[in-house]
Structure 1
Amino acid sequence: MTQSENKTKYFIGMIVAMLIWGMAWTSGKAAAEHSNAEVAAFWRYAISFITVIPIIFYMKTSFKADKLGVFYMVLAGALIAFFNYLFFAGLSHGQAGYGGTLVTAISPILTYLMSLTIFKTQITTKQILALSVGIFGAIILLKIPFEGLGFLNVDSSYFLECAVVWSIVTIIAQKAAQRGVDPMFYTLVVFGVTGLINMFFALPFHPFVLNNFDSIFWWNILFIGIFAGTFSTALFFISASKIGAHQTGVFMFIVPVGAIISSWIIYGEEIMLSTIVGCALSFVAVLLFNSRRGLRKKAQII
């Protein structure tokens, strides 16, 4: 098998993982509609934590981490618990396709901006261009030219907060990786911390009384927990390690495809032109940032 043929299966694996992550937005909306944000948030990561354990041992994952690495993992878990709540709360009010697109497209741009601010890194002309394109794409996605500050309504504000929180989590994940923490061990700890924190907020709603929730909730939460959580996360890390970091960011823009199409099929959500244009511009921005010429400069940022 040639190197090109060998990489093909990892490209396919990455595409499958991204599509499932996109579909999770529509599935999450169904789960939230048949329970509430607190219960759905707890069960999503409780299931992911339980089902990732066999994969951790199968992959012979290293459990090595220093104190700072552990701190980063716990902090990330706490932030993702907040993200998890915002995810389901946003889906209770807003559209799954729009939410999946908004968070996926804006989060990388915010991550770059935060990295530049925190680490005071010099920025190249191409990076300025990429940021400009990305910010313009975010403005279109938020429909600012058409609705002004209308994006601050309840339908969009949760998703915007999701994007901000996920950007911070991304930077923390990069810091944990610099401490030599294995990505799958990082995932295990984060899943566990997230599930535990969300459990405390779910307890008033009796999440362990299983017959309180119908089959629609359980099928969707199992899909999100097992396939979007454990399976796709493992697939993502395995494929990313073979494809290379410089190409991984580009694949994230397959997520909106899964979100938009699945939400259109299940909920009949309108596919807005502003969503497509904004997502496309953000995709171009990430392409510019992840091009090989910019790798050396970018590495200094993270």
Structure 2
Amino acid sequence: MHKQENKTKYFIGMLVAMLIWGVAWTSGKAMAEHSNPQLAAFWRYFISFITILPVIYFMKTPLKADRIGWIYMLAAGLLVALFNYLFFAGLTHGQAGYGGTMVTSIAPILTYIMSIVLLGTKVTTRQIVALSIGMFGAMILLRIPTEGFGFLNLDSSYFLEAAVVWASVTILAQKASKRVDPMMYTLVVFGVAAFMNIWFALPFEPFNLQALDAIFWWNALFIGVMAGTFSTALFFISASKIGAHQTGVFLFIVPVGAIISSWFFYDETILLSTVMGCTMSFVAVMLFNSTRTFRLKKAKPIL
């Protein structure tokens, strides 16, 4: 009973982290509307990098990694910088609820496919069925049955590219997990992303603070501190207690926060295709993780 009570607080922690990540999509849209993708992308991770430093200190995170671990972290940081730009560029053109749902739902499916192709992951018949369901759900999310390849417009293409990039980041995180502490990994990724994004922000004078209004700064603080540092720390702490098997399912709470907050603040329409596609992706992840025969082949490492 005591163990269950202890676990319950971590379930609640994961729920809170996922909802905040969902609301971050709507908050990011506000940032993009009151600046531009380059400035928003820089400030998001710069604030996260600065505010995660005291967390690293108080958690006594070991700041060490081997050479391969550093390569993974640097590569992930570069990809996160790209994802960050795509995140804000997509929100400049498209809807926050749709973007949050598409990226969160499609990225896990792409991650599984990339794991099979790049890591030599063995899959069972059940997992093949799960991937098929997930891919069909992704097609519905992209509205392919009704609009064909209309998803290649600006409203959706940024989000699709962001999903591909995030799947790649997930693969790198899996590879790095045995070589570096998760919080150390997050610190380096935040730092690299901020450093890369500043070069694209410099032409827009990112440190001319008065040029950006209060709406931008409140949302920058929310995304940088709450969605960045606080939720990331909460995610890793909770994930370590409840297990990776259940962590993946929690990610499907993110679209709930994105859809509801975007409907509340921007009056965005909640489409049936969005709900159906997200639900099918959720079922796919549940089904994919429901078997214990998921294991890796012995293959030569990429790096």
Q: Which interval holds the TM-score relative to the shorter structure?
A: over 0.9
Does residue 297 of structure 1 match 2:301? Answer: no
* TM-score, structure 2 normalization: 0.97
In the other structure, the counterpart of 2:202 is 203
Q: CA 1:34 to 1:135, structure 2 compared with 1: closer, same or farther past 3 Å?
A: same
Contact 2:120 2:297 in 1 (8 A): no
The aligned residue for residue 175 of structure 1 is: 175
In the alignment, which residue of structure 2 is the partner of 1:150? 150
Tell me if the contact between 2:22 and 2:256 (Cα under 8 Å) persists in the aligned partners: yes
* 1:34 corresponds to: 34
Q: How does 1:1-302 map to 2 (within 5 A)?
A: 2-179=2-179, 181-291=180-290, 293-294=291-292, 296-298=293-295
Shift of 1:178: 2.5
- Say if 2:80 and 2:193, in contact at 8 Å, map to a contact too: yes
Residue 278 and residue 225 in structure 1: after superposition, are their counterparts in 2 closer, same or farther (change >3 A)?
same
Q: Note the alpha carbon deviations across 1:201-230, whole angstroms, 9 max, x for none.
A: 100000000001000000001100000000
Give 2:263's aligned amino acid: W
Amino acid at match of 2:68: L
Q: Hey, what's the Cα distance between the residues in 1 that align with 2:173 and 2:9?
A: 26
CA positional deviation for 1:119 = 2.3
Instruction: Give the Cα separation in 2 of the matches to 1:34 and 1:72.
Output: 34
Q: Give the letter for the 1:115 counterpart.
A: S
Whether the 8 Å CA contact 1:11–1:243 is kept in 2: the answer is yes
Contact 2:141 2:274 (8 Å CA) reproduced: yes
1:299–1:11 distance in 2 versus 1, CA, 3 Å: farther
- TM normalised by structure 1 equals 0.97
Q: CA deviation at 1:297?
A: 1.6
Pair 210,167 (structure 1): closer, same or farther in 2 beyond 3 Å:
same
Structure 1: gaps (5+ residues):
none
- Give unpaired runs (5+ residues) of structure 2: none
How many angstroms does 1:32 deviate by? Answer: 0.2
Q: Distance in 2 between matches of 1:172 and 1:192?
A: 16
Task: Confirm or deny: 8 A CA contact 1:151 1:157 kept in the other structure.
Answer: yes
CA distance in 2, matches of 1:197, 1:298: 35
Q: Could you tell me how far apart the structure 2 residues matched to 1:300 and 1:285 are?
A: 22
Identity %: 70
Helix, strand or coil: the match of 1:60?
Answer: coil
Q: 2:122 is paired with a residue of what secondary structure?
A: coil
- What is the SS of the residue equivalent to 2:114? helix
Residues 260 and 24 of structure 1, relative CA distance in 2, 3 Å threshold: same
Find runs of 4+ consecutive structure 1 residues off by over 6 angstroms: none
RMSD: 1.2
Aligned equivalents of 2:85, 2:298: Cα separation in 1: 30
State the SS of the aligned residue for 1:178: coil
Question: Are the aligned partners of 1:17 and 1:233 in contact in 2 as well (CA < 8 Å)?
Answer: yes
Q: Is the 8 A contact 1:116 1:301 kept in 2?
A: no
Distance 1:71 1:51 in 2: 24
Give the drift of 1:64: 1.8
- TM-aligned CA deviation for residue 248 of structure 1: 0.2
Q: Is the 8 A contact 1:115 1:301 kept in 2?
A: no
CA shift, 1:29, in A, is 0.1
2:47 and 2:33 map into 1 onto residues whose CA distance is 19
User: C-alpha separation between the residues in 1 aligned to 2:295 and 2:84?
Assistant: 29
* Bigger proportion of residues as helix: 1
Q: CA deviation at 1:299?
A: 5.5
2:249 maps to a residue whose letter is: V
Check the 8 A contact 1:49/1:195 in 2, yes or no. Answer: yes
